Amino acid sequence: MISFEMPKPLVQTRRVVETVAENMMRPISREMDENEHEIPWAYIQFMHTATKAMGSSSMVAEDPPKEKKEDPKKKKYPPINYQRLMVMVEMLSWGDAGIYLCTPGGMLGAAAVGAAGTPEQKKLFLSRFQGKEPVFDAMAMTEPEAGSDTSAIRTTAVLDEKTNEWILNGEKIFVTAGNKALIDSKGFIVVWASLDLKAGRAGIRSFVIEADTPGCKVTKMEEKLGIRASDTVSVVMQDCRVPFENLLGSPTIEKSTKGYKSAMQTFDATRPIVAASALGVARAALEFVLEKLNEEEITIRYGLPRQKMTNLEREIIDMETQLRAAWLLTVKALWMADNKKSNALIASMSKVKAGKVATNITQKAVEVMGPLGYSREYLLEKWFRDAKINDIFEGTGQINLLVVARNILGYRGSQLR
């Protein structure tokens, strides 16, 4: 039966995370933005402690409803892990998208391990998030000459059969939280490299490089338009040796691109999560506008035919419509992920839509608020800068549109370039 009722445990999650966003993020939002690369340790420590206290990967334990306790045929609660992540990410990004990206314990790198790793690898690499100190992880894919075209990556991995180690060489750029993963904590990054450059996509694999691995250096910290609390770094690997078991997935190169494809499948889960982040920023901007209008005693009249609306009403109502539409696409994409339904199409749709909507809403919000929107006294101009990243990372809007198009048309990459 079709239903849009948010699962009960998530309503609670939402409330808890909202408190965090309000109290630990918003108050330092401006300061973190003005002092790029400063690390929000108080937030990080809090999130680490809170996540640990709740056990496993969730902030909020699922309390079974009390009245059903005596029922021996108690139904198992359907899977909602991705949906929970969406609720958290949306709310944390509503708090501050840059600080959200400093959340310890299981971001994109962990997602890759979760998607492509064996049970042993998951244990080996993911258990560190439960330790005493907060630990970070990152995904290193982009290279100076390979952005969205990941098949063009030039980083190589060669097996040293004597020591059974992989030797990695190459340079990665735009690694989100790379500094925190490698320098500020004993974390890891997941690096995409080629086993055989001639094999193209079929030769690409992902490798875990842990902090303090010799031959792996952070060489540059980028200065950015927005999300300034989050570090974005370059990583150089020079004869960097990692154990054989740090390869995620199969080491044999088959003719097919199965390995590459399974790595790309990580995106089916992570793209809607990026969408959720975009939606959080957009909601923050929209709520700010509504609050300011409310202070001026301007009410938005819902239900009018278009010719009777003021321009402002039209703008606000369109923002609300688009925000909700993008939100629903994202919910459906993650509901499908939780229920193990193939969601490549709608996952990219949600990313396209949310990236565009967040960019539009924050831009429009600055516009309609005039001098208030442009002023650094308020956070609106910051959200305008923060939102834009969602249309770029985890696949630009255009790349995601290409993915949507290929899915709709049933085309391979060679048929629709």
Partner 1 sequence: MYSFTPTEEQQMLLDAVRRYAEQDLRPAARDADEKSEFPPGLIEKGWELGILQASIPEEFDGFGDYSALTGVLAAEIMAYGDLSSAFAVMTPNLFALPIFFSGSEDQKKEYLPAVIAAEWKPYTAAMIEPSFNFDPGELSTTAVLKGDSYLISGEKTYVPFAQEAEMILVYANLDGETQGFIISRDTKGVSIGERQKTLGIHACPLYPITLDKVKIPLNQRLNGAEGHDQKSILASYQVALSAMAVGVAQAAFEYARDYAKEREVFGVKVAQKQAIAFMIAEMGTEIEAIRLLAWEAAWMLDEGKEEAGRHAYLAYNGAIDMVMMVTDQAVQILGGHGYIREHPVEMWMRNGRGFAAFTGLAMV
Between residues 242 and 403, which has the closer beta carbon with respect to partner 1? 403
Pairing label, strands 137-140, 188-194: parallel
Closest separation between CB of residue 252 and partner 1, Å?
33
Q: DSSP character for 307?
A: G
Q: Give the integer Cα–Cα distance in Å for 383 and 286.
A: 10
Between residues 303 and 370, which has the closer beta carbon with respect to partner 1? 303
* Residues annotated as catalytic (active site), given as ranges: 394
Residues 6 or more apart whose CB falls under 8 angstroms from that of 43 comprise: 24, 25, 28, 99, 102
Distances (CA, A) of 89 to 111, 220, 275, 411: 14, 27, 9, 32
Closest separation between CB of residue 315 and partner 1, Å?
12
State the residues that interact with partner 1 by CB under 8 A. 1-7, 78, 83, 302-308, 317-318, 320-322, 324-326, 328-329, 331-332, 335-336, 346, 349, 352-353, 398, 401-402, 404-406, 408-409, 411, 415-417
Between residues 86 and 116, which has the closer beta carbon with respect to partner 1? 86
Q: Give the integer Cα–Cα distance in Å for 390 and 356.
A: 8
Closest separation between CB of residue 234 and partner 1, Å?
30
Closest separation between CB of residue 404 and partner 1, Å?
4
Closest separation between CB of residue 64 and partner 1, Å?
14
Closest separation between CB of residue 80 and partner 1, Å?
8
- Kindly calculate the radius of gyration of the chain based on its CA atoms and give it in whole angstroms: 22
- Say if residue 335 is exposed, middle or buried (CB neighbours under 10 Å; 0-12, 13-18, 19+): buried
User: Residue 36's closest CA among 274, 382, 373?
Assistant: 382
Between residues 155 and 348, which has the closer beta carbon with respect to partner 1? 348
Between residues 51 and 83, which has the closer beta carbon with respect to partner 1? 83
- Say if residue 306 is exposed, middle or buried (CB neighbours under 10 Å; 0-12, 13-18, 19+): exposed
CA angle 75, 76, 78 (to 5 degrees): 120
Between residues 225 and 416, which has the closer beta carbon with respect to partner 1? 416
Q: Which residue type does 197 have? A: L
State CA 236 to chain mean position distance. 23
Closest separation between CB of residue 68 and partner 1, Å?
14
User: Residue 330's closest CA among 377, 290, 275?
Assistant: 275
Strand ranges, E, within 89-227 = 137-140, 156-160, 165-176, 188-194, 204-210, 216-221
Q: Give the integer Cα–Cα distance in Å for 273 and 276.
A: 5
Between residues 305 and 370, which has the closer beta carbon with respect to partner 1? 305
Closest separation between CB of residue 334 and partner 1, Å?
9
- Say if residue 132 is exposed, middle or buried (CB neighbours under 10 Å; 0-12, 13-18, 19+): exposed
Backbone torsions φ then ψ of 41, nearest 5 degrees: -65, -35
DSSP notation for 45-71: HHHHHHHHHH-TT-SS--PPPGGGTT-
Between residues 321 and 375, which has the closer beta carbon with respect to partner 1? 321
Distances (CA, A) of 14 to 86, 92, 354: 10, 10, 20
- Output the six-digit token pair for 90: 């949306």
